[in-house]
Structure 1
Amino acid sequence: MGWAVALHGGAGVPASLPTESRVHREAALHRILQIGVSAISANRSPLDVVELVVRELENCPHFNAGKGSVLTTNGTVEMEASIMDGNTKRCGAVSGVTSVVNPVSLARLVMEKTPHIYLAFDGAEAFARQQGVETADISHFITPENIERLKQAKEANRVQQDYVQPIKTEDQKQTTVDHESNTKLGTVGCVAVDGQGNLTAATSTGGLVNKMVGRIGDTPIIGAGTYANKYCAVSATGIGEVIMRETVARDVAAVMEYKGLGLKEAAAYIIHEVLPKGTAGLVAVSVAGEVAMPFNTPGMFRACATEDGFKEVAIWSSD
């Protein structure tokens, strides 16, 4: 048994990316993974580690969370996040957050400072102000790239996932839109386990491009986008409606508990046998320090490290 950390920057990565877009995101994954490794190597609690890593991902404009959050149909941001401690099953979640710089930290405060699990919209914002967490003007979150992505989604009359999609012109011929303005790739998340088998998970997102105001995805739903217990910790990414229907994160743990499968087998079963192709991915760690990072989309930004020296930063299956 040893420690392990895994993180993701979203599933649904297209089969290829422009070099500049790929390099920026790979560099961010390398940097943020090292932050997580340093923290857990210094005996920070797994809960601290996943919060720290997800905060860094939220602060990176290249991913769809925090500063890089995509826009609703009204041109606003509505962010969501959750965090869970596997030993105690304590958890916290927020959604509809519009001004909080790091929603994952607000989710942790919900877990630790309230009798509840989930706060949303005005209530979550009021709690953030009460707790004195860092907030920012809406201009902090609304980037020119995301304004352009919303414009393209509206022109196509579609709700888009947080990765490149072809846009149909008036004559219905598909054209590929500018890659750099359309590669804010994904929900972010982190899972961690320490040498004593303490498991934690955290997930954060801006949701879908052109989503309806008030839409809530899988990220803050305990058991769907995030789950941790004494067997494993899971953070999922992909099409939220699919992940919610299949309770993806909880099902990985359930398959381990009730069918006796190992982490890799359980995670692969849920992603490749239960979910429709092209819809999701996840990162997970087990109590024994194993790591699984399956996905059924063309690619998924992901990274992991274990106490025995294994390290991986990858996008596509062949990496």
Structure 2
Amino acid sequence: MRLALLVPGGSGQLGRDLAALAGPEVEVVAPASAELDLRSAGEVVAALDALVSRAAAAGAAPVVVNAAAYTAVDAAEQDEVRAFGVNADGPRVLAAVCSSRRVPLVHVSTDYVFPGDASRPYEVTDELGPKSAYGRTKAAGEDAVLGSGASAWVVRTSWVYGKSGANFVKTIQRLEGEKDQLTVVDDQVGSPTWSADLAAGLVELAGRIAAGEGPSSRVLHCTGEGEVTWNGFARAIFEEIGADPERVRPCTTEEFPRPAPRPAYSVLSNASWREAGLTPLRPWREALAAYFRS
């Protein structure tokens, strides 16, 4: 079945990778946040009506994949009102309009909705307990979407990096050329996820939903397979760019304080994704190598 996707947040790294998947079977319109403010009901209604019209003309199924988010984790501690507007109010408006137009919605969320103190990967049924402003606003966005009455799915992911925008991989690449030695925390564990892999997974999910085969679980986890510390991730980046990983030294979270608390362990279990019959993302280390080859 042909897909007609509307991707709010189209200028971000995930939005750009979703737009790059456009082709004969997938039409993508990916407006930047400046072009489509999800807090504006009028703008969202116009965008959804245009999506429905395009889909009808092309004989395609309309689906919204929401990649718009306020992701400045530390800045959110000082500006939670703004973060809430983007991460909760916007999705609430979007979900309400999707419900009224009967257009399915896939909403992207984060590992930060959990407290980050687990000793095993978080399942979709685990209790939320965000410790940061960013996490609280994203959790509120999930509640808004799932309680809207829309045909909606929430997809949580983690440690996303891509070719565009600011991210950990780009930061480490830059610092490698600026410093003889880097110090990176070695007591926070998660699962790096290449945005290109995540985008492909979201399009696969959208296709299943459009075909009437959406997963019974309305919350899914989708990350790169495996887990690593930020220090281990940085060392792997050094290896990929031909630098000596021994130049990356470990430190503790206490030695590198940040305005927003970071989860000590935020690995997400991908069991829900596999149980839905969706293609698991490749192991994070394999994806990182592919990212640099690309």
Name the TM-score class by shorter chain: 0.3 to 0.5
Larger Rg computed on CA atoms: 2
| Higher RCO, Cα 8 Å, sep 6+ | 1
Which has the larger strand fraction? Answer: 1
For normalisation by structure 1, the TM-score amounts to 0.31
Which has the larger helix fraction? Answer: 2
